[in-house]
Structure 1
Amino acid sequence: MLRSLQLGRDQGACDMQQVADPASARDAVEELLAEYGVHDVLGVTPTASEVDRTWLVATRRGGLVVKRSPRGSDAPRMQAGLLALAARDASLPLPRLLTSATTGAALSADGTAFVTTLCPGRPLEEVTLTEDLAAALARHQAAVMNALADADAAALGVPDVNAWSLDSVVEYEPLVDAHAPTGTADVLRAVIDDYRARVLPVRGDLPTQVIHADVNLSNVLVADDGTVSGIIDFGDAVLAPRVYDVAVAACYLALAGGASDHQVVRHYLERAALLCGLSALEVSLLRTLVRCRLAIVVLLGRESARRAPERAAYALRYDHLAERLLASVAGEQRRDAFGPEGTIA
């Protein structure tokens, strides 16, 4: 069993055991919120989530988000700890933690949940991409990275790998034949080979820290005035090279724009490379790393859909775009936002 897939399957199995009917789920959420001094619940709405259970809660004082994980999971401690660290920068558009009256801390009494404010805005996938928006994302992402630079991964329970980690791409090679037609399979194998040839030899030389690792189209919120109003969901945070964070965001911007040579992608990469202080070596790996994320979107998404058909729509929401984009950047000489080694075109 592949390590990353086993992690995902075990977490998913625990998660499914906690699924309750809507009425009892609302009762459980209201009981938990009472621990945080919230008694004016107007509505509770579950949202799609891969591992933990997430609810959006309407109250008279505004929106809240409740996240609950299986017992024994480190996820609540990790996410709450990272949010607390990042929130030291008051200018960042992040959810703010509520404090439990029982524990005097962010975690619930049983250690399985935490509650945050709800960031306003719409997901990035629902808005028109602009260069100003890309620049704002790069600025906030660099600030989050800076806020987490001294995070103690071991103390917070941050892993060095999870199912979506870019380093996991090699573990998904056995899935290529099962989930990809011949043409796509060749591209996917080329991506994995490129990772082995270009990233693995220098992996230990790359600046590493705790990173968000999942700055995707659902985890970036945009206000009506076009500003970034929220960077949410630290559930996939890992201890990894900082350039991985930029590559993941660039991947999803390319998916949103429908092309790797989209001007917004180019502008984002220029700003992110500057603001995050990426070296020439880190920049030279961006094309490979973006393709790795696209490959994971295809392979892990299809495998997840096979394992849990009832969640196929969620697992495959980027599948077609990712496959098409992979084909468009299959050759190193193809035109895209990435220039020669060490540059951004």
Structure 2
Amino acid sequence: MGVPVSSTGMEKTGTDFETALILLEQPSRSISVEDATRIAHDMFGMTGVVSRLPGERDRNFRLRTTQGGDYVLKIAHCAEQPEMLDLQDSVLRYLRAKDPTLAVPELLAPSVPQAVWRDGAGEGRIVRMVTFLPGTPLGNRPATVPLCTSIGGMLGRLDQALADFHHPAQSHALLWNLRNAAYMRNFIRYFPTGAQRALASGVLAAFEQQVQPVMATLPAQVIHNDFNVHNILCSDQVIEGVIDFGDVIRAPRVQDLAIAASYMMGSGTQPLEQFMAILSGYCQTVALTRAELACLPAMMGARLVMSLGISSWRASRNPADTEYITRNQAIAWQGLSRLEALQDTLRDRMLTFAAA
């Protein structure tokens, strides 16, 4: 793999974890717009204008049909396990039944018994299609305090809806899981300055001391696990939709909030107020325990280090895709710096919030 593999901090070992690494290290083979057009017709009976969309593991295409519908065609990485995709699909179907008012993509049924396409190398690629959600990604808007309240509220509703969801693959190996935070020490070497490496090491040490010992005792469920600025669609004041359920996993529920809040820490001009807004919005629906609140700041820092570490490692392996892979790095470094400066204040706010 080119990176020393240490068992320290691994959520799982062996072939499952190796597969999880391959999905991120080895880019999915390219697919032409012409092939995507044929796949949409042959497997879903749809025709229209096809254009490319970005994706971490899938090859994604937007399809605007001649009938006026707007969809996303998703062609999986050849190493993706069918049970992982079934987990993602099951979450979307469950949310649609549990709370139809949640603005999440709707999964479409294919017109063939098995939607599997073989690429030029003969590898089978599972094909799916979901509705395209309109809206502006949060990364293209300022993260105002009212908007952060809406973000927290939407995430709380999402986690509440998934609280009773279960699936055989829900505890799969996934590098993007905070249980693997210590594994990020393998990637710190890719940070360009000594100060950045020292900051990241300190953040991981805080996570290992404050969160790791109690992580297994925190309330857990299936969560979205990637509430970042590119997966949240919004207007000026409210959330209009949530996309990309590719990282869903069973994990501590507060992990979901930590991920969302960590990205807000690097966006906008009022990080403390934004953090309290997203926390308050979330807790309108989900009542966090004192233990969860105590873990929140250290979890936020670990997620930012994870975002920086994984993207830096992947960019070193796939330099042609560096711009897309590292698109969150500026926000993550700013968030990490702000989080470090606000540590004492955040701890005090957590104590006050828990006592309220």
Question: Do these two structures clear the TM 0.5 threshold for a shared fold by scoring above it?
Answer: yes
SS in 1 for 2:340: coil
Contact (CA 8 Å) 1:297, 1:319: kept in 2 or not? Answer: yes
The corresponding residue for 2:302 is 292
Deviation at 1:109, TM superposition (A): 5.4
Alignment counterpart, residue 274 of structure 2, candidates 242, 254, 264? 264
Alpha-carbon spacing, 1:150–1:340, altered in 2? closer, same or farther (3 Å): closer
Q: Distance in 2 between matches of 1:271 and 1:125?
A: 19
Letter of the 1:283 counterpart: L
| 1:37 paired to 2:49 | no
Q: Distance in 2 between matches of 1:183 and 1:67?
A: 40
Contact (CA 8 Å) 1:211, 1:240: kept in 2 or not? Answer: yes
Q: Considering only aligned residues, what root-mean-square deviation do their CA atoms show, in Å? A: 2.6
Q: Distance in 2 between matches of 1:340 and 1:12?
A: 35
Q: Provide, for residues 112-145 of structure 1, a one-character-per-residue CA deviation record: whole Å limited to 9, x for no partner.
A: 1211111111101112323332222222212221
Contact (CA 8 Å) 1:123, 1:221: kept in 2 or not? Answer: yes
SS in 1 for 2:327: coil
Q: Distance in 1 between matches of 2:218 and 2:307?
A: 24
The corresponding residue for 2:227 is 215
Contact (CA 8 Å) 1:184, 1:327: kept in 2 or not? Answer: no
| 1:66 paired to 2:66 | no
Contact (CA 8 Å) 2:153, 2:284: kept in 1 or not? Answer: no
SS in 2 for 1:257: coil
Deviation at 1:9, TM superposition (A): 4.1
Alpha-carbon spacing, 1:328–1:139, altered in 2? closer, same or farther (3 Å): closer
The corresponding residue for 2:53 is 47
The corresponding residue for 2:165 is 151
Alignment counterpart, residue 330 of structure 1, candidates 330, 336, 340? 340
Alpha-carbon spacing, 1:15–1:315, altered in 2? closer, same or farther (3 Å): closer
Instruction: Please identify, of 60-69 and 172-181, the stretch whose mean Cα deviation from structure 2 is larger.
Output: 172-181
The corresponding residue for 2:86 is 77
Q: How does 1:275-286 map to 2 (within 5 A)?
A: 275-286=285-296
- Structure 1: stretches of 5+ with no match in the other structure: none
Contact (CA 8 Å) 2:61, 2:73: kept in 1 or not? Answer: yes
Alignment counterpart, residue 57 of structure 1, candidates 41, 60, 63? 63
Q: Distance in 2 between matches of 1:7 and 1:54?
A: 21
Instruction: Please identify, of 246-255 and 68-77, the stretch whose mean Cα deviation from structure 2 is larger.
Output: 68-77
SS in 2 for 1:275: coil
- Structure 2: stretches of 5+ with no match in the other structure: 12-16, 118-124
Deviation at 1:8, TM superposition (A): 4.7
Alpha-carbon spacing, 1:143–1:296, altered in 2? closer, same or farther (3 Å): same
The corresponding residue for 1:117 is 131
Deviation at 1:220, TM superposition (A): 0.7
SS in 2 for 1:114: strand
Q: How does 1:1-345 map to 2 (within 5 A)?
A: 1=5, 6-12=18-24, 15-16=27-28, 18-20=29-31, 22=32, 25-39=33-47, 41=48, 43-60=49-66, 61-71=68-78, 73-74=81-82, 75-88=84-97, 89-103=99-113, 108=115, 112-154=126-168, 157-223=169-235, 226-257=237-268, 260-261=271-272, 263-330=273-340, 333-335=343-345, 339-341=349-351, 343=353
Letter of the 1:195 counterpart: F
Deviation at 1:53, TM superposition (A): 1.1
Q: Distance in 2 between matches of 1:133 and 1:139?
A: 10
Alpha-carbon spacing, 1:97–1:338, altered in 2? closer, same or farther (3 Å): farther
Deviation at 1:257, TM superposition (A): 1.8
SS in 2 for 1:230: strand
Alpha-carbon spacing, 1:340–1:129, altered in 2? closer, same or farther (3 Å): closer
Contact (CA 8 Å) 1:67, 1:114: kept in 2 or not? Answer: yes
SS in 2 for 1:113: strand
Instruction: Please identify, of 212-221 and 145-154, the stretch whose mean Cα deviation from structure 2 is larger.
Output: 145-154
Q: Provide, for residues 219-276 of structure 1, a one-character-per-residue CA deviation record: whole Å limited to 9, x for no partner.
A: 11114x6432211111011110000000001111222225632x22221112213422
Q: Provide, for residues 143-201 of structure 1, a one-character-per-residue CA deviation record: whole Å limited to 9, x for no partner.
A: 221222222231xx233441221222100113224425222222211111111111111
Q: Distance in 2 between matches of 1:340 and 1:133?
A: 21
Q: Distance in 1 between matches of 2:36 and 2:333?
A: 40
Letter of the 1:320 counterpart: A
Alpha-carbon spacing, 1:122–1:302, altered in 2? closer, same or farther (3 Å): same
Give the alignment's TM-score, normalised by structure 1: 0.87
Alpha-carbon spacing, 1:341–1:186, altered in 2? closer, same or farther (3 Å): farther
Contact (CA 8 Å) 1:68, 1:76: kept in 2 or not? Answer: no
Instruction: Please identify, of 320-329 and 82-91, the stretch whose mean Cα deviation from structure 2 is larger.
Output: 320-329
